[in-house]
Structure 1
Amino acid sequence: MTTLLAASQTAALLPYPALAREIAALLADALVRVPARLVQALPGGASLFVMPAFDARLAIAKLITFTPANAGSGRPAIQGDVLVFDVASGARRLQLDGPTVTARRTAAVSLLAAQRLAPGNAGPLLVVGAGAQGRAHLEAFAQGLGIREVRIASRSAASASALAAHARTLGLQASVADDPERQLADCPLAVTCTPAAGVVLRGRLRDDAFVAAVGAFTPAMVELAPQLCRDVAARGTIVVDTPDAQHEAGDLLQAGLDVARLPDLRAVVLGPARPSPGPVLFKSCGWAGWDLAAARCAVDQLEQS
């Protein structure tokens, strides 16, 4: 029997600390397989994503649309579902809300990277972009790192104010920042969660900075200035979420960096060494393996309840 879960039900099964732990466990699981995802361009500039993955127990297919034109319309940019199947029986076990899975697993990946890579994790946290990903990252870093102060920058003052108000309900000190560049001197933690239509950070990062950049996931998209990326490569560490980033990480590709030579999150999770001194840039482009980790986490949460 299939359990069909709405957005709130899906979120309840994906607590950020547990999801980050499941992502680390998945990276150590030799039985995980993630075929190449299909990205089909649609009329009007939208895209259809078909993303399969499986392990010895579960198989998933994530089916979502990404419609950039929905920005500011009240309609979500990402819509769809994640279908979860039992490998042994072939039965469909769960249908998870796709946008909720996308937001929470992306934020949990950034959280895991910060837990393993951030030189310091006390904050303040700078969040650039106040949409679904900005909210998810704020919640994940609050729950998983214990940050107490957040500063929010967005092209939409109303969205930034709304996210700041949400942060205060979580017990955080929150403020709206008109210029994210000026916050870099005070914020050792930063995440960029924008539609990636243009550069949002250009300045030099602190020596103890950790930046998670998640908005740009095609070669044409960008959030970080090329010089910022090259500067981190010269005096710090750049880590990508998966090797697929060599074809997708617009920020790094436009900076002329050899992305194929950069370490990925699996190497960080399985390796003993922390990065060299200096700022850390974590570049995330997305992977169906993260959705499989979310399915594993959801199934485990259900079985424990």
Structure 2
Amino acid sequence: MTGRANGRPDGSRTGRAPLLVLDRAQVTSLLDMAEVIRVVEQAHEALSTGAARQPDRSSVELPGGSSLLVPMVAAVDPLAGAGVKLLTDTPSNAGRGLPVQQSVITLIDPETGACEAVLHGAPITLFRTAAASAVATRHLGRPGAATLGLVGAGAQARAHLAALARVSDFNQVLVWSRTRATVEAFAEHARAQGYAVKVADGPEQVVREADVLCTLTPSRTPLVRGEWFRPGLHVNAVGAPPRPDHREIDTAGILRSRVVVDSFPVASSESGEVLIPVQEGVITSEHYRTELGDVITGRAPGRRAEDDITLYNSVGVGIQDVAAARLVVDAARRQGLGTEVDLF
């Protein structure tokens, strides 16, 4: 990267800074899970207090195909970050050997309004999603949780293991996946991190034995049933795509849980996890009105009792992406990484 000065001694900017472009490998090398957890928690706190803003988003189905286009706009004042993540969800890509979800993030200079950076979105999505689960587990999980249960054993399982280890002292990991090779590779990875790992026969075993459960599959139909939940369980429902007809947890699971969402407006338009039970007339929107940021700030209660069943419904929001992207861009500037492009 060819750097050049674009600021005054007082920190204000002069001239037009070049656009910084960071590819997937560069973004991955600059991400630190502990730091991502920190800024994701700050971003949700800022959303609760009004210091962060993200407008209601509208997903667009692209004509002639299966792709869903999801623009995610956010500004997080305390972190000096603003930008847009553009996510596409294309189920037919699974048959092409391409990622089903793809994204790019643009970061905006909040002082000048100029586009400051363009980043590959996948690594940031991976880290910030696991980081948000860690934040939710810190505020909603039961103290002394010993067993982490994972339904799904892919990249998100590895990221969640790394993130949740920073907020809970697990001594056992219980995991299940439809694909034997995937679950065996994860088990080897987790054992190398020093964990006792048990491969479950199915999702029911994972759910019944876990203290903290993470569901990490792109399922359209429920893999996890509420009748399996035991008192004191905390669930991070993560994997379902942002579509109102997709869910991993059945209606009974939502009904039995104290549900906390990343964003009430987003969940109300995109999360099948809560929208299907509403359509069935089993719950109302009041059942999932509590946002994670309000639990962090104390504006709303989280876990009330040791036997509570809590569930964090993770759809994914722009404040998380912008906060993590700010970290990456600042680190890239310090280390001289990336490609600068002068659009002017």
> What is the TM-score normalised by the length of structure 1?
0.89
Comparing 142-151 with 176-185, which one deviates more in the overlay?
A: 142-151
Q: Deviations over 1:84-143 (max 9, x none)?
A: 121213343332221111121111111100011101353321111223323322221134
CA contact (8 A) 1:11 1:104 kept: no
The equivalences for 1:157-172 within 5 A come to 157-172=180-195
Correspondences of 1:224-239 after superposition (within 5 Å): 224-232=249-257, 237-239=258-260
Measured in 1, the distance between the counterparts of 2:194 and 2:94 equals: 29
| CA displacement 1:5-42 (0-9 Å, x = unmatched) | 23233234332222122122123333322123232212
Structure 1 residue aligned with 2:122 = 99
1:210–1:55 CA distance, 2 compared to 1 (3 A): closer
Amino acid across the alignment from 2:275: L
1:186 alignment partner, one of 209, 217, 226: 209
User: Within 2, Cα distance between the matches of 1:93 and 1:122?
Assistant: 42
Aligned residue for 2:68?
Answer: 47
Query: Partners in 2 of 1:274 and 1:65 — Cα distance?
Result: 32
Task: Indicate yes or no: 2:33 matched with 1:16.
Answer: yes
Q: What is the one-letter code of the residue matched to 2:59?
A: V
The answer to whether the 8 Å contact 1:120/1:208 transfers is no
The 1:59–1:279 alpha-carbon spacing in structure 2 relative to 1, beyond 3 Å, is same
Q: What is the rounded CA distance, in whole Å, between the counterparts of 1:201 and 1:274 in structure 2? A: 22
Q: CA deviation at 1:301?
A: 4.1
Deviation at 1:209, TM superposition (A): 0.7
Distance in structure 2 (CA, Å) of the matches to 1:139 and 1:77: 24
**Aligned position for 1:31:** 51
Shift of 1:72: 6.5
In structure 2, how many angstroms separate the alpha carbons of the residues matched to 1:119 and 1:190? 12
Structure 1: how far apart are the matches of 2:95 and 2:283? 33
Query: Does structure 2 retain, via aligned residues, the 8 Å contact 1:142–1:148?
Result: no
Matching residue within 264, 276, 298 for 2:304? 276
Residue 31 (structure 2) pairs with residue 7 (structure 1): no
Q: Which residue of 2 aligns with 1:249?
A: 271
Q: What is the total number of aligned residue pairs between the two structures?
A: 301
How big is each residue's C-alpha offset from its partner over 1:29-83, in whole Å with a ceiling of 9 and x where there is no partner?
Answer: 3332212323221233121222221244332111222112233654211123111
Q: Which residue of 2 aligns with 1:210?
A: 234
SS of residue matched to 2:223: strand
| Deviation readout 1:196-255 (Å, 9 max, x if unpaired) | 2211111331212111001233221111111122122xxxx2211111212222122222
The structure number with the bigger radius of gyration is 2
Note closer, same or farther for the CA distance 1:24–1:292 as it changes in structure 2 (3 Å cut). Answer: same
Q: Write out per-residue CA displacement over residues 147-203 of structure 1, whole angstroms, 9 at most, x where no aligned residue.
A: 342222112122222222222333322232221202223211110111122111113
Q: Decide whether the 8 Å contact of 2:43 with 2:76 is kept in 1.
A: no
Question: Is the counterpart of residue 258 in structure 1 residue 284 in structure 2?
Answer: yes
- Cα distance, 1:281 vs. partner? 1.0
Q: Secondary structure at the match of 1:218?
A: coil
Measure how far apart 1:276 and its partner are: 1.5
Structure 2: unaligned runs, 5 residues or longer: 1-17, 336-344
Return closer, same or farther for 1:76/1:169 CA change in 2, 3 Å cut-off: farther
Is the 8 Å Cα contact of residues 85 and 93 (structure 1) preserved in structure 2?
yes
C-alpha root-mean-square deviation of aligned residues, in Å?
A: 2.3
1:149 equivalenced with 2:172 (yes/no): yes
What is the DSSP-based 3-state SS (H/G/I as helix, E as strand, rest coil) of the residue aligned with 1:81? strand
Cα distance change, pair 19–161 in 1 and its aligned pair in 2 (3 A): same
Alignment of 1:53-132 (within 5 A): 53-56=74-77, 57-71=80-94, 74-120=97-143, 122-132=145-155
Match of 2:321 among 291, 297, 301: 291
Question: In structure 1, how many angstroms separate the alpha carbons of the residues matched to 2:168 and 2:68?
Answer: 34
* Alignment partner, residue 8 of structure 2: none
- TM-score using structure 2 length: 0.80
